[in-house]
Structure 1
Amino acid sequence: MKNLLQVFFLIVTMSCYCQIKNQNFVSTDIDNFWNAYEKIISTKDSVQQYNFLKDFYIDKGTLGLKSLIEVRNYTAEDFINSINKYPKFWNSLKPNTLSCNELYPEIEADINKLKQVYPDLKPSTIYFSIGAFRTNGTIQGDRILIGSELSLADETTIIDELPLWRQSFYKEYNPRKNIALLCTHEYIHTQQKELVENLLSMCLYEGVAEFISCKVTGKQSNSPAIEFGKNNQQKVIDLFISDLYLAKNNYNWLWGENKNVLKIRDLGYYVGYEICERYYNLSKDKVKAVKTLIELDYNNEKEVERIVDATKLLPESLEKLKHDYEKRQPKVVSIKPFKNGSKKVKPGLTEITITFSEPLNGYDAGLDFGPLGKDFCPKINSERVWASDLKSWSFKADLKPDQEYQILITNSFKKQDGTRLKPYLINFKTNK
């Protein structure tokens, strides 16, 4: 009997070991970085420093490092400047990065919890690399890219050389302690459909990853925005509604710009988190709710509306909020020197003036091809002129004879408060 028990526990132990080994971790970039780092700080010769960086870090980089550099647009100058500016920071960070393998079991355990709730989870590789302070974690395809200079810091990391605005991240987020939650969050991003660039979708995209990673692991979000949002919900939602369809304020809500009037970083995470939490709590089938949220198609406006409206977080339906916004949008009221749709426009270099229903901000503008494409758009001069009252805008187009043309006046035009112009298609034909 004793031998049978020993065999049973051996099988269980081997099963757990195999489960942990299912997750692929790659951290060779960290070793390469410190090798390059020691060589870089050994000389003041900038040419040599750049060569050391290239030869010992960049060129030896994993697919994860190459993705990190591409996604965050890192340059060699970014790395060299960061290395030279913050010696105390780097020396204090080094032990934490070299021991990152100690974190693998907790990360693996949390990902296994996600797999239990979302059986369709597709495998992703987690790469620990070192960047230059632009992300603690992001993805590219099925690669999870961990910026270890941010994500592996703890209370032993010396941050007083860093700019004050950057220090706040280390103080507020306790990154190394929360690395498993971060990896689960990013793992969910690798499962999601492509993000749509509007404020609501951006908040939902992050909210799905944050809420589900917390729910499946039983861990509390380390984002201060979540607690602040729950304690100040009305203020946050009122501000969110005022910004919802504006062109200029997306980054007041996400990814650390800290420009919103409440002075709280990443409040968009709270908005998305709250929507997902409410939707999950309202759903009888919790597993189906998780699947619905992770696999949400952000291009499917009806499905986004269904989920958001069901939670009743916003004061009106999305359809009503959008309708109210559209009533506030400025419009094109006329064009000169011909009427839109004319079939008898004189060819040659022609100044076209667009008149708006109200003054715009005097600097945001945009032209594009119409539905017929590039071949049906005239050559347009670079000179663009605003009227003194900001209610009209002119440009010159070279019009060829006997040609149908389309020019799209885009919603890049905005009012001073960021309200976008309703797009307007100019369609006309020139004389022979």
Structure 2
Amino acid sequence: MKNIYSIVLLIFTLLGCNQKIDNLNDNIITSDIDNFWNAYDKINATKDTIQQIKLLKTLFLDKASEGQKKMIQARNYSEKEYLNTINNFPKFWTSIRENTLKAKTIDEELSIGVDKLKSIYPQVKPAKIYFTVGALRSSGTTMDSLVLIGTELAFTDKQTPTEEFPEYLSHLRNYFDSEPGENLVFLNIHEYIHTQQKTTIGNNLLAQTVLEGVAEFLAEKALNTRSPNPQIQFGKENDAKIKSKFELEMFSPNVNNWIWNSANNEFGMRDLAYYVGYKICEEYYNASEDKQKAIEQMIQLDYNNENKLIEFVEKSNYFSKPLKTYKEVFENKRPSVISLGEIKNESLNVKTNIKTLTINFSQQMDTRFRNFQLGSLGEENVVRIKEFIGFSKDSKSVSFGIEKLEPSKKYQIIVGSGFRNTQGVPLIPYLIEFNTNEK
């Protein structure tokens, strides 16, 4: 839902529709677009890769606005990635150039939409909107109080070519065909609502679902129109099936089956968490006597406070059982770490010549997934994984080669919920912690 046009919306909200467009432009920054195309032309005039990197840095990266720097940080874009996209997709860049330059001209048409948002939520907070240029991995996001629009994606349309793209970018065809600009006001209102929330990242599926649902539902209420996003109508037509599946996963830390996923699933529709969140909010709103207060509660909800989140969702009466019932069922299905191979957890006298770490699970695991996280002592004390050795034949244990351990040192590593069983249920995180001996 993070799209180009979110930017403009924000602007109006920040400064107020009664102010002049010139003043509004102070909070809309488009300088990175001109800098990029200046660099692009110079880069295309030479085949010297060293010179290309120099031009990219001096003409674009070194002149980057705060928002452009934040977009690069948010998506971890590299100089190499920029040059690869510039050199490999000339038809794509040629086709979108004129569209990206329209970022300077779209402010005024959004003012009515922002006015309507203010009418249902007067406590809007200011933000700056940056039209940035990325490397095909984000049409828009937020960081701190900044709206960051990736114009190279957000301003595309059905005519934007994709025949140059490799397989990993094949999903962009469907996105371009959705004509992002046609639903400019709705998309921007949705995104603007995100800047008013306490967070845009939920710590489990239910939290992420509700915060996305708030933005989607309230965009509808503000604009008095239906959501243009196909997930909403599809969800209404398939509510019972979607709900029964969602109930099994709502407390999962993994959102991949429901948000920012592809349509390659049992429903044939992506991002169905948007519908579930939308429906929760719709039911909550309809059940509330004070509609204004309900809107405030939606936007100001602490989505990552589990008790408050559960209280909010249960008031909607969308699910037939208390949410703690679903959580108990989910937790009982989760695999766990039952033992370690070469190391006894919490040991105070581990030998430093240990070269392998074997983890034994309570259930068969999906061998495609694994992840580790730092413990509370941070990177300085982490067990460093050197190589992946493999899963056992029954998929109930996995082994890794580890770097040499130092004597008289405390080590930690968390076996993360990225590990999951063959049904896709994530592992209960497990802290491995031990001390090595003196030799």
The verdict on a shared fold, with TM-score over 0.5 as the criterion, is yes
1:228 aligns with 2:261: no
Alignment match, 1:254: 259
Distance 1:206 1:83 in 2: 33
Change (3 A) 1:144 1:369: closer
Alignment match, 1:7: none
Alignment match, 1:192: 197
CA contact (8 A) 2:32 2:60 kept: yes
Distance 1:378 1:171 in 2: 46
Q: Secondary structure at the match of 1:159?
A: coil
Q: Which amino acid aligns with 1:161?
A: E
CA contact (8 A) 2:132 2:148 kept: yes
1:417 aligns with 2:423: yes
Alignment match, 1:201: 207
User: Structure 1: 5+ residue runs without aligned partners?
Assistant: 1-14
* TM-fit CA distance, 1:142: 1.0
Alignment match, 2:101: 98
CA contact (8 A) 2:56 2:79 kept: yes
Change (3 A) 1:286 1:242: same
* TM-fit CA distance, 1:378: 9.5
Corresponding residue pairs, total: 411
Distance 2:132 2:91 in 1: 19
Alignment match, 2:74: 71
Alignment match, 2:7: none
Structure 1 residue aligned with 2:62, among 59, 80, 103?
59
* TM-fit CA distance, 1:399: 11
Q: Deviations 1:61-96 (Å, cap 9, x if unpaired)?
A: 211111111112222233333333333433332333
Q: Which amino acid aligns with 1:237?
A: K
Change (3 A) 1:245 1:104: same
Q: Deviations 1:348-392 (Å, cap 9, x if unpaired)?
A: 458997654443445756777878x579x8978868886554445
Change (3 A) 1:326 1:44: same
Change (3 A) 1:347 1:339: closer
Distance 1:54 1:338 in 2: 48
Structure 2 residue aligned with 1:213, among 204, 214, 219?
219
* TM-fit CA distance, 1:122: 0.8
* TM-fit CA distance, 1:269: 1.5
Change (3 A) 1:72 1:379: closer
Alignment match, 2:147: 144
Distance 1:211 1:266 in 2: 15
CA contact (8 A) 1:153 1:175 kept: yes
CA contact (8 A) 2:417 2:429 kept: yes
Q: Which amino acid aligns with 2:299?
A: I
* TM-fit CA distance, 1:410: 5.3
Distance 2:124 2:203 in 1: 25
Distance 1:358 1:190 in 2: 41
1:18 aligns with 2:38: no
CA contact (8 A) 1:53 1:76 kept: yes
Alignment match, 2:307: 302
Q: Secondary structure at the match of 2:147?
A: strand
Distance 2:45 2:432 in 1: 63
Q: Which amino acid aligns with 2:294?
A: A
Q: Secondary structure at the match of 1:128?
A: strand
Change (3 A) 1:17 1:95: farther
CA contact (8 A) 1:347 1:430 kept: yes
Q: Secondary structure at the match of 1:251?
A: coil
CA contact (8 A) 2:91 2:164 kept: no
CA contact (8 A) 1:252 1:259 kept: no
1:177 aligns with 2:182: yes
Identical-pair percentage: 39
Distance 2:175 2:419 in 1: 35
Q: Deviations 1:25-51 (Å, cap 9, x if unpaired)?
A: 111222222222222333333333333
Which segment drifts farther, 144-153 or 413-422?
413-422
* TM-fit CA distance, 1:154: 3.7
Distance 1:98 1:380 in 2: 47
Distance 1:273 1:329 in 2: 28
Alignment match, 2:268: 263
Distance 1:148 1:136 in 2: 6
Q: Deviations 1:140-168 (Å, cap 9, x if unpaired)?
A: 1111111112222345x432435442111
CA contact (8 A) 1:406 1:426 kept: yes
Change (3 A) 1:382 1:114: same
Residue pairs, 1:284-363, within 5 angstroms: 284-331=289-336, 348=351, 356-361=361-366
Larger radius of gyration: 1
Distance 2:90 2:342 in 1: 64
Q: Which amino acid aligns with 2:325?
A: K
Change (3 A) 1:26 1:321: same
Q: Which amino acid aligns with 2:311?
A: R
CA contact (8 A) 1:154 1:170 kept: yes
Alignment match, 2:48: 45
Alignment match, 1:12: none
CA contact (8 A) 2:99 2:156 kept: yes
- With the length of structure 2 as denominator, give the TM-score of the two structures: 0.78
CA contact (8 A) 1:245 1:419 kept: no
* TM-fit CA distance, 1:299: 2.2
Q: Deviations 1:214-245 (Å, cap 9, x if unpaired)?
A: 32123432322122112222232233234434
Q: Which amino acid aligns with 2:70?
A: S
* TM-fit CA distance, 1:202: 1.5
User: Structure 2: 5+ residue runs without aligned partners?
Assistant: 1-15
CA contact (8 A) 1:370 1:408 kept: yes
